[in-house]
């Protein structure tokens, strides 16, 4: 008999770091390898299960998720700090992602093409890849895993899923719901552990045919370094430094409200968060005033949760300090929330007089911090907003139709918003960015098929001599 010694990790509530909310057992490297083999063994059976039946399991999982909405939201909120309300919204979104991909099980997976030879039938079909590894972050502990797992499964792949260690309890619960919905053993496997151990095994395993990852650029780069030269398909959703442009003709109140929402929702911990705003000088003062008014409405600890961990807390505070040192002017917030004595709470923070050279105009902060930049006109705004290594999302607030279309045309991002905040995604639409924000096929919508399947092209001779 072998004794397996697993590392035990305690999870703490970022709103009350002294409160332990549960424990997770982390898998050993050998156990992770065994799980991958189990996923490989389950592949043949799952691939040969009707896609309609596969979709039906997703639908049942959606029902179970809705039934357990309170429990899932509670655990996720206490694990990574998002407010319960934000989490309830995310769980509902998770259910609609499952329902969208459940329907995919009934849709066409190929097409009949004309052949140059009239005696031949030429057609295509899409087939699954095999074992897919999904490596997901803590900031959307339900929606992001589901928008990777649901398409992977409905198209016939088996999945080894490593949730972030910081949202491990939520991951465990989601895995159990799939099991309750009747997913056969080995088809979805939750592996708990650190990226450096469990994650590394996933990257190196020959059985793993595709890796889908959402998280930081540095981890994304190490995935490319390890798996980039193998034959694995790779999909990376990484950082953002999303710009909003507010033109003089915009509805100023609406623009300010949505810009603050875009920046501060989920405590700014979204790769799609608005983190820099370019304002035309004619309305600059008025908009700044209004941004501050909107920020004042946020009640830290009630409508805005803590950041997810001590690591996040320290890194956001040091970015704030750096902005001060570089000469940006702090006009709102700027540090730990006063009057709250426990928890990783940071005030919504606004810096003005930001110049294009400052770090705050270029580096992702992943926290409730907004950089405000004055511009002469739209031309300067579009030029500066495009001068970024990231290209995930961008917004323009204007009532000028030609300028809105010019922005749609010239903005170097994957997600363009007109008169709306930079974040948000619907399951039926492709999601992803340009430049250093994304690698590989888009997520969600019909685009998901590109990543989770490959083609078979079939030719049949229909006449005998």
Catalytic residues, which ones? 237
Q: How far is the CB of 271 from ligand UN1 (least distance, A)?
A: 4
Alpha carbon distance 406, 403 (integer Å)? 5
Alpha carbon distance 402, 400 (integer Å)? 6
* Residue whose Cβ sits closest to ligand UN1: 423
**What end-to-end distance do the CA atoms of the chain give, in Å?**
65
Residues lying near ligand UN1 in the complex (CB under 6 A): 137, 139-140, 144, 214, 237, 270-272, 423-425
In this structure, are strands 120-128 and 112-113 parallel, antiparallel, or unpaired? antiparallel
Alpha carbon distance 158, 48 (integer Å)? 12
Alpha carbon distance 119, 129 (integer Å)? 31
Q: How far is the CB of 452 from ligand UN1 (least distance, A)?
A: 17
Closer residue to ligand UN1 (CB): 130 or 445: 445
Task: Tell me how many degrees the CA angle 18-21-25 measures, rounded to the nearest 5.
Answer: 115
Closer residue to ligand UN1 (CB): 158 or 274: 274
Alpha carbon distance 332, 264 (integer Å)? 13
Closer residue to ligand UN1 (CB): 280 or 421: 421
Closer residue to ligand UN1 (CB): 32 or 437: 437
Q: How far is the CB of 423 from ligand UN1 (least distance, A)?
A: 3
Closer residue to ligand UN1 (CB): 293 or 450: 450
Q: How far is the CB of 453 from ligand UN1 (least distance, A)?
A: 22
Alpha carbon distance 451, 133 (integer Å)? 12
The token pair at 199 is 């994650």
Question: Coil, helix or strand for 431?
Answer: strand
SS3 content of the chain, % helix, strand, coil (to 5): 40, 25, 35
Q: How far is the CB of 337 from ligand UN1 (least distance, A)?
A: 23
Alpha carbon distance 265, 396 (integer Å)? 18
Alpha carbon distance 300, 15 (integer Å)? 11
């Amino acid at each position: 008999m072998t004794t397996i010694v697993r590392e035990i990790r305690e999870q703490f509530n970022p709103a009350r770091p002294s409160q332990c909310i549960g424990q997770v057992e982390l898998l050993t490297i050998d156990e992770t390898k065994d799980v991958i083999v189990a996923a490989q063994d389950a592949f043949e059976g799952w691939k040969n299960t009707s896609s309609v039946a596969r979709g039906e399991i997703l639908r049942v999982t959606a029902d179970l998720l809705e039934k357990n909405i309170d429990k899932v939201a509670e655990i996720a909120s206490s694990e990574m700090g998002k407010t319960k309300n934000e989490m309830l919204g995310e769980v509902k979104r998770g259910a609609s992602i499952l329902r969208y991909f459940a329907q995919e099980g009934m849709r066409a997976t190929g097409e009949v093409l004309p052949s140059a030879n009239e005696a031949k039938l030429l057609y295509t079909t899409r087939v699954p890849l095999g074992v897919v590894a999904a490596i997901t972050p803590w900031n959307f502990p339900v929606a992001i895993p589901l928008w990777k797992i649901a398409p992977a499964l409905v198209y016939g792949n088996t999945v080894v899923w490593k949730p972030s260690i910081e949202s491990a309890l939520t991951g465990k619960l989601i895995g159990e719901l799939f099991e309750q919905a009747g997913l056969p053993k080995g088809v979805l496997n939750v592996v708990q552990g650190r990226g450096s151990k469990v994650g590394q095994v996933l990257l190196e395993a020959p059985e793993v045919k595709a890796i889908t990852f959402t998280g930081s650029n540095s981890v994304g780069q190490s995935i490319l370094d390890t798996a980039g030269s193998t034959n694995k398909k790779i999909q990376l959703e990484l950082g953002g430094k999303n710009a909003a442009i507010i033109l003089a003709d915009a509805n100023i109140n609406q623009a300010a409200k949505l810009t603050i929402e875009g920046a501060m929702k989920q405590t700014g911990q979204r790769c799609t968060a608005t983190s820099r705003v370019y304002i035309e000088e004619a309305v600059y003062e008025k908009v700044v005033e209004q941004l501050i008014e909107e920020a004042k409405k946020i009640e830290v600890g009630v409508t805005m949760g803590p950041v997810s961990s001590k690591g996040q807390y320290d890194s956001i505070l040091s970015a704030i300090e750096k902005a001060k040192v570089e000469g940006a002017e702090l006009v709102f917030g700027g540090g730990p929330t006063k009057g709250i004595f426990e928890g990783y709470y940071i005030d919504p923070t606004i810096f003005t007089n930001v110049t294009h050279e400052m770090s705050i105009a270029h580096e992702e902060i992943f926290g409730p911090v907004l950089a405000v930049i004055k511009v002469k006109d739209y031309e300067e705004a579009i030029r500066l907003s495009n001068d970024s290594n990231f290209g995930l999302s961008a917004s323009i607030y204007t009532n000028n139709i030609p300028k809105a279309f010019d922005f749609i045309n010239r903005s170097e991002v994957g997600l363009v918003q007109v008169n709306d905040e930079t974040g948000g995604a619907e399951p039926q639409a492709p999601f992803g960015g340009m430049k250093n924000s994304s690698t590989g096929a888009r997520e969600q919508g019909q685009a998901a098929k590109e990543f989770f399947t490959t083609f078979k092209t079939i030719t049949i001779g229909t006449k005998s001599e």
